[in-house]
C-alpha cells in the first residue's frame, strides 16, 4: 500500500479536532482540563517493535520542547486509538495512558490483540490537542509464507552537519520497517561547514539529554519517517559519549560521574524511542538486544556492542580509539564486544533461526581493515578490529549452525561498504556472510582516497564510498536480497534530492554480494 493519496501522507501534519471515531474522553485531570498554550505534539508520533499481535505507539507531550518540555510536573491523561483505516472508521483498539513527568511526559503504549501482517493507523489526544496520524504495521505471523519483505536502515545523523532530507525520501518508499543502527543524536559538536547548531552544551544530565532529543526530533523529515513506518532502534556511542566502552569514557575519566551520565543517556533514549514500556531502565543498564521474526522470510537479531564490551586494548589511554594500533592484548580470546551473556544469547538465536534470511543488525563495520603503515599492522580498535576473537566466535557460530543466508548490516563509519565476511581472509577461503554498511544520514565521512586505499589492498572489500551520505534499502524474496544504496545529492540543502549510487544482489544460498 502506498502512502501517496491517503490521509496519512508522511510529513503532513493534520489536526483532527472533532474527527469522527475518536472516543469521547471523560473528564481529564491536571493540565488536560484546559487548552495547551502551544501544540503538545511538536515531537510527532512514532511506532516500533512490531510483533504479529502487537506494536508500540509513542509520542511525547512537549509544548515547549527545547526548554524541558514546558509542562507542569504532574501526570497528563492521553487518549490513543489505532484503526484499520486512515479515516478511523474501523477502530481496532483505544485507551488512555497517563503521561508521567518522571518520563518527560513520554507515552509508550504496547497495543495487544492486533492482526498479523497488516497496516494500522494511530493518533493521540491530550486535552484540546490531537496529534498527527501515524501508520504502523504488525509483523507477519512467524512461519507465514511471504513473497517479499522490505526495510531500510540508517545511522549517524549529526544535526549540525546537514539536513535529514534522506528521511523525506525514505518516507515515500514502500517499506515494512525501518532499522536505526545508532548515533540517533550526537552529544558533541564537531565537523565542518555546519548548517544549523546544537542548543546547549554537551549533555551530561537527564534534562540536557531530553532537550537534545527534542532538538533532533524537531526535524520534519525525521518525524515523517517515524510516522510512516514502524521502527526498530539500537544505540551506538554518541547517544552517551564518543567512543565509550561499557563504563569507561575518553572524555569523562571519573567512573562514578560517567555512570551517572550513561544512566541519564539511557533513560532519555528510552523516553524518546518507540519501545515497550517494560523496557524502562532499572538500575545502571538497559537491555536493547532482541530478536524478531517476520513470517518465513527473516530472522532479525539486534545487537548492543557498547554496553558490555571490554575496554579498548593496547593502551591505558582510552583515546587510543582514534588511531590505528596493534598489540597482543587486542587478540586475547577473553576480549568481548558483546559481553558473555549477549554472545550466548546470539549463538542460541542463530541456532534457532528458521527464516530464509538471517540479518544481524549491529553498529559498525565488521570486516577487518589493517590501517598500519611501514609494514606494521594497525587497527581502529573501537570497532570489531579491537575484538577479533569475538568476531571469530560470531563467524564460527554462523558456520556451526549453518545459518541460512546470513547478512550483517552496520553503520558508524559514515561510509557505504559491501564486504565478504570470512573466517580468515585468505583469497581461497569461503565467504561465510555478506556485510552491508550504510553511510551516515548527515555525519561527515572519510575521504574517498582513504576508502580507495582500503579497497585496493583487501579483495574481500567489494565496494566503498566515503563521500556520500544516505541510507540503504533492502528487499528480501525467496530468491535474492536486493540492496539499494541511496545517496543525498547535497546534505546541506534541506530540499535535496536523492540518487541511487549502486545496487547489489545476494542470491539465496550464495553468500557474497554482487553488483546488480
Please, what are the averages of pLDDT over each run of 10 residues along the chain (516 residues)? 32 30 35 73 98 98 97 96 98 98 98 98 96 98 98 98 98 98 97 94 97 98 98 98 95 91 98 97 94 98 98 79 92 98 98 98 98 93 97 98 98 98 91 98 97 96 98 98 98 97 98 95
Residue 9 C-alpha cell reads as 501522507
Distance CA 118, CA 124 (A): 20
Specify the DSSP class assigned to residue 495.
Answer: T
Distance CA 199, CA 264 (A): 18
Read off φ and ψ for residue 360, nearest 5 degrees: -105, 110
User: What pTM was computed for the model?
Assistant: 0.93
CA distances from 2 to 149, 174, 507 (A): 15, 6, 27
Read off φ and ψ for residue 340, nearest 5 degrees: -60, -40
Q: Which residue has cell 556451526?
A: 400
Distance CA 96, CA 104 (A): 17
Q: Do the Cβ atoms of 327 and 295 come closer than 8 Å?
A: no
Residue 197 C-alpha cell reads as 547548531
Residue 26 C-alpha cell reads as 471523560
Condensed to tens digits (0 to 9), the pLDDT of residues 209-219 reads 999 999 999 99
Please choose, from the candidates 72, 94, 71, the residue with its C-alpha nearest in 3D space to the C-alpha of residue 82: 94
Please choose, from the candidates 217, 200, 263, 6, the residue with its C-alpha nearest in 3D space to the C-alpha of residue 120: 6
Distance CA 497, CA 186 (A): 24
Residue 237 C-alpha cell reads as 556511542
- pLDDT value at residue 25: 35
3 state SS of 279 = helix
Specify the DSSP class assigned to residue 162.
Answer: -
Q: Do the Cβ atoms of 223 and 43 come closer than 8 Å?
A: yes
- pLDDT value at residue 33: 54
**Helix, strand, coil proportions of the chain in percent (round to 5)?**
20, 30, 50
Condensed to tens digits (0 to 9), the pLDDT of residues 391-434 reads 999 999 999 999 999 999 999 999 999 999 999 988 889 999 99
- pLDDT value at residue 251: 84
Q: Do the Cβ atoms of 151 and 205 come closer than 8 Å?
A: no
Task: Spell out the domains of the chain, with CATH numbers in brackets.
Answer: 30-137 (2.60.40.380), 148-515 (3.60.21.70)
The alpha carbon dihedral of 412, 330, 463, 397 has a sign of negative
Specify the DSSP class assigned to residue 160.
Answer: G
- pLDDT value at residue 15: 28
Distance CA 129, CA 99 (A): 14
Q: Do the Cβ atoms of 57 and 111 come closer than 8 Å?
A: yes
Residue 145 C-alpha cell reads as 509464507
- pLDDT value at residue 85: 98
Distance CA 79, CA 95 (A): 6
Distance CA 12, CA 16 (A): 12
Q: Do the Cβ atoms of 318 and 249 come closer than 8 Å?
A: yes
Condensed to tens digits (0 to 9), the pLDDT of residues 12-34 reads 333 222 222 333 333 333 444 54
Please choose, from the candidates 195, 200, 223, the residue with its C-alpha nearest in 3D space to the C-alpha of residue 211: 200
Please choose, from the candidates 25, 22, 173, the residue with its C-alpha nearest in 3D space to the C-alpha of residue 87: 22
Amino acid at each position: 500500500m502506498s502512502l501517496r493519496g491517503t490521509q496519512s501522507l508522511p510529513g503532513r501534519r493534520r489536526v483532527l479536532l472533532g474527527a469522527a471515531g475518536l472516543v469521547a474522553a471523560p473528564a481529564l485531570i491536571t493540565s488536560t482540563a484546559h487548552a495547551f498554550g502551544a501544540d503538545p505534539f511538536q515531537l510527532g508520533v512514532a511506532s516500533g517493535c512490531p510483533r504479529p499481535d502487537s506494536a508500540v505507539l509513542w509520542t511525547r507531550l512537549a509544548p515547549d520542547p527545547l526548554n524541558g518540555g514546558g509542562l507542569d510536573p504532574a501526570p497528563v491523561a492521553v487518549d490513543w486509538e489505532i484503526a484499520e483505516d486512515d479515516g478511523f472508521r474501523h477502530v481496532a483498539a483505544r485507551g488512555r495512558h497517563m503521561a508521567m513527568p518522571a518520563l518527560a511526559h513520554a507515552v509508550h503504549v504496547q497495543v495487544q490483540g492486533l492482526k498479523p501482517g497488516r497496516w494500522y493507523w494511530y493518533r493521540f489526544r491530550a486535552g484540546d490537542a490531537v496529534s498527527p496520524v501515524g501508520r504502523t504495521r504488525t509483523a507477519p505471523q512467524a512461519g507465514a509464507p511471504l513473497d517479499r519483505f522490505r526495510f531500510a536502515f540508517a545511522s549517524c545523523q549529526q544535526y549540525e552537519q546537514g539536513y535529514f532530507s534522506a528521511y523525506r525520501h525514505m518516507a515515500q518508499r514502500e517499506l515494512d520497517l525501518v532499522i536505526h543502527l545508532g548515533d540517533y543524536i550526537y552529544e558533541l559538536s564537531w565537523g565542518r561547514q555546519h548548517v544549523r547548531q546544537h542548543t546547549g552544551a554537551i549533555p551530561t544530565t537527564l534534562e540536557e539529554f531530553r532537550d537534545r532529543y527534542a532538538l533532533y526530533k524537531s526535524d520534519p523529515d525525521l518525524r515523517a519517517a517515524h510516522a510512516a513506518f514502524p521502527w526498530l532502534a539500537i544505540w551506538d556511542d554518541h547517544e552517551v559519549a564518543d567512543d565509550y566502552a561499557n563504563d569507561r569514557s575518553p572524555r569523562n575519566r571519573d567512573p562514578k560521574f560517567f555512570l551517572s551520565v550513561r544512566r541519564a543517556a539511557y533513560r532519555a533514549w528510552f523516553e524518546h524511542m518507540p519501545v515497550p514500556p517494560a523496557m524502562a531502565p532499572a538500575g545502571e543498564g538497559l537491555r536493547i538486544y532482541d530478536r524478531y521474526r517476520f513470517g518465513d522470510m527473516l530472522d532479525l537479531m539486534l545487537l548492543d556492542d557498547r554496553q558490555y564490551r571490554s575496554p579498548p586494548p593496547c593502551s591505558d589511554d582510552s583515546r587510543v580509539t582514534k588511531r590505528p594500533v596493534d598489540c597482543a592484548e587486542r587478540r586475547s580470546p577473553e576480549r568481548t564486544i558483546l559481553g558473555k551473556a549477549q554472545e550466548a544469547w546470539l549463538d542460541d538465536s542463530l541456532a534457532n533461526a528458521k527464516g530464509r534470511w538471517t540479518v544481524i543488525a549491529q553498529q559498525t563495520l565488521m570486516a577487518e581493515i589493517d590501517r598500519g603503515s611501514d609494514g606494521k599492522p594497525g587497527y581502529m580498535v573501537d570497532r570489531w578490529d579491537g575484538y577479533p576473537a569475538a568476531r571469530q566466535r560470531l563467524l564460527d557460530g554462523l558456520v556451526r549452525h549453518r545459518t541460512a543466508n546470513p547478512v550483517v548490516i552496520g553503520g558508524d563509519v559514515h561510509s557505504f561498504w559491501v564486504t565478504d565476511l570470512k573466517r580468515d581472509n585468505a583469497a581461497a577461503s569461503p565467504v561465510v556472510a555478506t556485510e552491508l554498511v550504510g553511510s551516515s544520514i548527515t555525519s561527515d565521512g572519510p575521504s574517498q582516497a582513504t576508502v580507495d586505499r582500503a579497497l585496493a589492498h583487501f579483495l574481500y572489500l567489494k565496494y566503498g564510498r566515503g563521500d556520500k551520505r544516505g541510507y540503504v534499502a533492502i528487499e528480501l524474496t525467496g530468491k535474492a536480497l536486493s540492496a539499494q544504496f541511496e545517496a543525498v545529492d547535497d546534505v546541506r540543502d534541506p530540499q535535496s534530492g536523492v540518487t541511487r549510487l549502486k545496487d547489489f544482489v545476494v542470491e539465496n544460498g550464495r553468500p557474497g554480494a554482487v553488483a546488480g
